[in-house]
Amino acid sequence: MRVPSQRALECAVTAARAAGRLMRSQKSAHKKINAETQHDIKLELDVLCQKLIEKTLFRGFPEAAVLGEEGVSGREDAPLRWVIDPIDGTVNFTYGIPHACVSIALQQQDKRGEFITEIGVVYDPFCDELWTAIRGKPARLNGKVIHASRRGDLEEAIVAIGFSKTLDSLHENLPVFNVLVRRVRKIRMMGAAALALTYVASGRFDAYIESGISLWDIAAGGLILECAGGEFWHRPLPNSDKYRMIANNGLLRGKLERLARAARKD
């Protein structure tokens, strides 16, 4: 089965914009919290946005499943699946910080049974910035082709770092942060993984590292980065559905890996 890429992209864009309008309309409203932990918040609006997205996606592709942060829908054995984060950056959004987005990817199962991302859409409704990608074609921001940076020196690089939601992630990445902050131009912790990936794709950041991150946070942005000429390196963590990731412009992974290994040994 061949994915109708342009139709799928248009469907994802329609869904992302619809959820983005809902987010924007609720920017200053009181947010109903469904659940919260020390490092995370789940809003009623997360669920509402996912339902809105699913409605559009199922109308266009009724045969595809949906894997989302707020639940799974459709056939478990479907060879096509949408991977969505209805509000990436929920804590930011809850606190009134306008740095959050909608992330939608379409994945297709290959002959080995692995899912490959074919479509990526990330929409920031507060800046009205829409990143899109179709595998094998250039990534775009609001219709214009984008490229990752060509900065190859860590001393000139802006690197985003995330600590996910667990103590394990904190313990793993704090030593790296302590070393990186003295080696790079600037460190950024923005709180929305999909936007960090698209910022690397757009040349605003040069790299982004995190451990313990979920597929719906990175599927769309990872493809966009690859289609912008960058490198999206990610590996599943042992006995987990989370990932370790080094996203970069294609020039910095080796340097970041060596630095991270040395930091964790110390």
In this predicted model, what pLDDT tens digit does every residue of 227-251 receive, in sequence order? 999 999 999 998 888 999 999 999 9
Pick the CATH number of 154-265 from 3.40.30.10, 3.40.190.80, 1.10.3210.10, 3.40.50.300: 3.40.190.80
**Cα–Cα distance for residue pair 224/201, rounded to 1 Å:** 7
What are 6-37's pLDDT values in tens digits? 999 999 999 999 999 999 998 887 878 777 77
Where, residue-wise, is CATH 3.40.190.80 in the chain? 154-265
Nearest of 69, 71, 57, 59 to residue 106 by alpha carbon: 57
In this predicted structure, the answer to whether residue 135 has a pLDDT above a threshold of 80 is yes
Q: What is the pLDDT of residues 61-113, one digit of tens each?
A: 999 999 987 778 888 789 999 999 999 999 999 999 999 999 999 999 998 98
Q: Which amino acid is at 178?
A: N
pLDDT in tens, 148-181: 999 999 999 999 998 876 677 777 788 888 999 9
Fold of 5-145: Fructose-1,6-Bisphosphatase; Chain A, domain 1 (3.30.540)
Between strands 158-161 and 207-213, the pairing is: parallel
Check if the beta carbon of residue 123 is closer than 8 Å to that of residue 140. no
From 52, 96, 57, select the one nearest 70 (Cα to Cα): 52
Cα–Cα dist 129/93, whole Å: 16
pLDDT in the model for residue 40? 75
Closest CA to 117 of 132, 130, 101: 132
